[in-house]
Amino acid sequence: MEQKRFDVIVIGGGPCGYTAALYCARAALDCLVLEQLSPGGQMGTTDIIDNYPGFPQGVNGFDLAMQMQQGAERFGVATRLEAVERVELENPVKRVHTAQNAYEAGAVILAMGASPRELGLPNERSLRGKGVSYCATCDGMFYRDKTVVVVGGGDTAAADAVFLSKICKKVYLVHRRDALRASKAYLSPLQRCENVEFVWNTTVEEILAQEKVTAVAVKNVKSGTYTMIDCDGVFVAVGNVPNTKLVQGQVALNAGGYIAAGESTKTNIPGVFAAGDVREKPLRQVVTAVSDGAVAAKFAEEYLSE
Ligand SMILES: Cc1cc2nc3c(=O)[nH]c(=O)nc-3n(C[C@H](O)[C@H](O)[C@H](O)COP(=O)(O)OP(=O)(O)OC[C@H]3O[C@@H](n4cnc5c(N)ncnc54)[C@H](O)[C@@H]3O)c2cc1C
Query: What would the pLDDT profile of 79-127 be if each residue is shown by its tens digit?
Result: 999 999 999 999 999 999 999 999 999 999 999 999 999 999 999 999 9
Same-domain status, 231 and 250: no
Q: Which atom of ligand 1 is nearest to the CA of 40?
A: 49
Q: Which atom of ligand 1 is nearest to the CA of 284?
A: 19
Q: pLDDT tens for residues 272-306?
A: 999 999 999 988 999 999 999 999 999 999 999 99
Cα-to-centroid distance, 10 and ligand 1 (Å) = 14
Residue 49 — very low, low, confident or very high, per pLDDT cuts 50/70/90?
confident
Same-domain status, 166 and 201: yes
Residue 50 — very low, low, confident or very high, per pLDDT cuts 50/70/90?
confident
Among 236, 255, 281, the domain boundary falls at: 236
Helix H or strand E encompassing 298: helix 286-304
Same-domain status, 142 and 220: yes
Give the domain CATH number at 287. Answer: 3.50.50.60
Same-domain status, 91 and 165: no
Cα-to-centroid distance, 35 and ligand 1 (Å) = 12
Same-domain status, 81 and 224: no
Listed in sequence order, the residues at least 6 apart from 139 whose beta carbon sits closer than 8 Å to its beta carbon are: 133, 233, 235
Cα-to-centroid distance, 119 and ligand 1 (Å) = 20
Cα-to-centroid distance, 283 and ligand 1 (Å) = 13
DSSP 8-state class, residue 236: E
Closest C-alpha to ligand 1, atom 9: 49
What range does the domain containing 10 cover?
5-115+240-304
Q: Which atom of ligand 1 is nearest to the CA of 246?
A: 41
**From 79, 286, 288, mutation site for ligand 1 pocket: most ligand atoms within 8 A of C-beta:** 286
C-beta neighbour count of 305 within 10 angstroms? 8
Establish how many alpha carbons lie within 13 A of residue 269's alpha carbon, considering only the half-sphere containing its beta carbon: 25
Which residue in 16, 24, 31, 135 is the catalytic one?
135
For the chain, the domain total comes to 2
Which residue in 30, 138, 155, 193 is the catalytic one?
138
How many helices (H) and strands (E) in the chain?
Answer: 6, 19
Among 193, 214, 236, the domain boundary falls at: 236
Q: What is the separation of C-alpha 201 from the centre of its chain, rounded to a whole number of angstroms?
A: 27
Same-domain status, 110 and 244: yes
Same-domain status, 109 and 247: yes
Burial class of residue 39 in the structure, from the number of CB atoms within 10 Å of its CB (0-12 exposed, 13-18 middle, 19+ buried):
buried
Residues 192-213: what's their mean pLDDT? 97
Residues 222-246: what's their mean pLDDT? 97
User: Which residues' Cβ are closer than 6 Å to ligand 1?
Assistant: 11-17, 34-37, 41-43, 45-46, 49, 51-52, 83-84, 111-114, 156, 243, 246, 276-277, 284-287, 289
Q: Distance between CA 92 and CA 266 in Å, rounded?
A: 15
Establish how many alpha carbons lie within 13 A of residue 133's alpha carbon, considering only the half-sphere containing its beta carbon: 27
Question: Residue 185 has what pLDDT?
Answer: 87
Which residue in 7, 139, 232, 292 is the catalytic one?
139
Closest alpha carbon to 259 in 112, 115, 116: 112
- Cα diameter, the chain: 66
Closest alpha carbon to 105 in 1, 227, 6: 6
> Quick check: 254 pLDDT over 80?
yes
Same-domain status, 194 and 247: no
Closest alpha carbon to 203 in 216, 190, 187: 216
24 is catalytic: no
> Quick check: 1 pLDDT over 80?
no
Same-domain status, 136 and 99: no
Q: Distance between CA 153 and CA 129 in Å, rounded?
A: 23
Same-domain status, 208 and 148: yes
Is beta strand 102-110 parallel, antiparallel or unpaired with respect to 94-98?
antiparallel
230 is catalytic: no
Question: Residue 10 has what pLDDT?
Answer: 98
Closest alpha carbon to 111 in 305, 281, 237: 281
Same-domain status, 207 and 285: no
Among 236, 252, 267, the domain boundary falls at: 236
Cα-to-centroid distance, 135 and ligand 1 (Å) = 12
Same-domain status, 201 and 269: no
Residue 34 — very low, low, confident or very high, per pLDDT cuts 50/70/90?
very high
The one-letter amino acid at 52: Y
Q: Which residues of 125-162 are buried (b: 16+ CB within 10 A; e: fewer)?
A: eebeeebbbbbbbebbeebeebbbbbbbbbbbbbbbbb
Closest C-alpha to ligand 1, atom 27: 113
31 is catalytic: no
